[in-house]
Amino acid sequence: MDKDLLTIGAFAARARLSAKALRLYDRLGLLAPAHVDEVSGYRYYRASQVERARLVAMLRRLDMPLARIAEVVEAAGTESADRLAAYWADVEARVAGQRTLVEYLRGRLSGRSCEMYGKFVVETVEVPAQVVITETRHTLADELPAWIGASLGRLTEAARRCGGVTAAPFVVYHSEVSMESDGPAESCVPVADEAAARAWVAEQGRGREFGVRTEPARRLACTRISKAQVAHPQILAAFEAVEAWLKREGLEYDGPCREVYFADWDAAGAEDPVCDVAFPVR
C-alpha cells in the first residue's frame, strides 16, 4: 500500500472533520477514499483530498442539495464559483419570496385581513361568449409563472392562423394550484375563426395539451392588480378579496376562478395594471 496514504482518522484530523462525516461523503459519492483495504475495509485518503473534503463540508452548511454540491466540486476553474453564485441567487430569491409570504400570513393571523382586502376594488363585468384555443397542464405553483408565459405565447402565435386574438387572454384554474396540488390550469386565447382553430388543434395531434372550445357568456366579479401584485403571495390576497366581496354581496360562484391578462407583460412596469383576478358569478 502507498505509504503516502492517510488513515481515515489521520485524514479526518487534518481536514477538521469527523470520520462519520467522511463515511457519509463517501456513501453520497462526494468524496471517495483513495484506497479501501479489501480485507479490513479500512478507508485511506491522500493529503491532496483535504481541500475537497473541507469544500464539501462548507457547501453542506449552505443546505446545498447533493447534486449541486457535486456540480460545484467537479467544475473546473472559475466555473465552480459561477455554479455557487447561481445556487445562492436561487436561495436569495426563494428567501425573498418566503419573507413576503410571512408578512402576508402575519396580516392574516393578526386579524388584518380586512385591511389587506380594502386595497382591492371589486366590480362586475359582462363578458360575451367567445371561441378560445387552449393549452392545459397539471402544474405546481413554482412552475406556474413560467408555464403561463410560455403557453400564452404559444397560443397567441397560433391565433394568427385562427383569425387573430379577439379579447384578452386568460388562465382558468380548474382546481387548486399550490406546492401540493397541480391543478390543472388552462391557458385560453380568444380567436375569431373557429373552423381555423379546430384545424390548428387537429394538426397538433391527439394526446396533446391543446384544445378549442366555446367559452360561454359570463358575468365576472374581478379586481385589477399590478404586475408586482401578480407575484405569490400578493395575488392570494387579491383572490381572497374578491371572495370576501362575493360573500358580502350574496353572489354565488358560476365556474372556476381565472386571471385575465389584458396588458403587454414585457412592456409593463412593476406598478402598471396588467391582470384582472376574476370569479364567474350568478
Q: Enumerate the H helices of 124-256 as residue ranges.
A: 144-159, 194-204, 234-249
Q: What is the pLDDT of residue 1?
A: 55
Measured CA to CA, the distance from residue 45 to residue 37 in angstroms comes to 11
Q: Cell for 47?
A: 493529503
Q: Kindly give the pairing relationship between strand 185-191 and strand 258-261.
A: unpaired
Residue whose cell numbers read 379546430: 198
Cell numbers at 260, concatenated: 385575465
Query: What does the pLDDT read at residue 231?
Result: 82
According to DSSP, residue 216 is labeled P
**Cα–Cα distance, 68 to 65 (Å, whole number):** 5
| Tens of pLDDT, residue by residue, the chain (282 residues) | 566 898 988 998 888 888 988 988 888 888 889 888 888 888 899 998 998 899 888 898 899 888 898 899 888 889 999 999 999 998 887 787 778 778 778 877 877 655 556 688 999 999 999 999 999 999 998 899 999 999 999 999 999 999 999 999 999 999 999 888 999 999 999 999 999 999 999 998 766 799 999 999 999 999 999 998 898 777 888 998 999 999 999 999 999 999 999 999 999 998 899 999 999 999
Query: For residue 170, what is the enclosing H or E element?
Result: strand 170-173
| pLDDT of amino acid 112 | 67
Q: Which of 241, 236, 233 is nearest to 100 (CA)?
A: 233
Q: Which residues contact 153 (CB under 8 A, 6 or more apart)?
A: none
Helix (H) or strand (E) holding 258: strand 258-261
At 133 the pLDDT is 97
